[in-house]
């Protein structure tokens, strides 16, 4: 079963059922991984706008048995620092990529295919939503 790390944007598309997710087909044979950072990023908007219904939808997504929440540790932050030092990416992107790499995910799903060059040799970057 492939291990797939979802970038926050993909989680947002899925939970908020945006037009980007309308044609998104989620394979049945994958194990989904997200990090504490994914959860944080996804919860900011509903908290800021006091949208409890949307916040509950996010929490329900993160509680799904098919979704594994990965904790961030020193090794991930060290890897993120290395990625950030070597590439012109923002710190959250570096943390997401480092978490996916550290936990042995085979794929990193995002809406930004530019991360492929950064992840090359570590993990396959997939943009499942065109």
Contact assessment for residue 4 and residue 31, using Cβ atoms and an 8 Å cutoff: yes
Residue 115 has pLDDT above 80, yes or no: no
Q: What CATH number corresponds to the domain at position 20?
A: 3.40.50.1010
Residue 64 has pLDDT above 70, yes or no: yes
CA dist 53 → 22, 87, 88 (Å) = 21, 38, 36
Residue 42 has pLDDT above 90, yes or no: yes
Residue 101 has pLDDT above 60, yes or no: yes
DSSP annotation string for the chain = --EEEEPHHHHHHHHHT-GGGTT----TT-EEEEEHHHHHHHHHHHHHTT-HHHHHHHHHHHTSTTEEEEPP-HHHHHHHHHHHHHSS--HHHHHHHHHHHHTT-SEEE-S-TTHHHHHTTT-EEE----
In the predicted model, what is the mean pLDDT of residues 46-72?
A: 95
> Is 54 or 28 the better-scoring residue by pLDDT?
54
Residue 111 has pLDDT above 70, yes or no: yes
Q: Domain range holding 118?
A: 3-126
- Per-residue pLDDT, 79: 95
Nearest partner of 64 among 93, 38, 94, 34, judged by Cα:
34
In the predicted model, what is the mean pLDDT of residues 79-84?
A: 94
Residue 1 has pLDDT above 90, yes or no: no
- Per-residue pLDDT, 25: 57
Mean pLDDT taken over the chain: 86
- Looking at the 3D structure of the chain, how many domains does it have? 1
């Amino acid at each position: 079963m492939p291990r797939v790390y979802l970038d926050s944007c993909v989680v947002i598309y899925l939970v908020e059922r945006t037009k980007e997710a309308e044609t998104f087909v989620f394979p049945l044979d994958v194990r989904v991984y997200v990090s504490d950072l994914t959860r944080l990023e996804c919860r900011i908007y509903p908290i800021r706008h006091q949208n409890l219904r949307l916040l509950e939808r996010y929490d329900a997504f993160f509680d799904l048995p098919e979704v594994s929440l990965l904790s961030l540790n020193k090794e991930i932050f060290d890897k993120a620092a290395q990625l950030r030092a070597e590439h012109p990416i923002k710190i959250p992107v570096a943390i997401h990529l480092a978490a996916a790499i550290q936990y042995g995910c085979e794929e990193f799903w995002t809406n930004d295919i530019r991360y492929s060059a950064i992840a090359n040799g570590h993990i396959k970057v997939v943009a499942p939503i065109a």
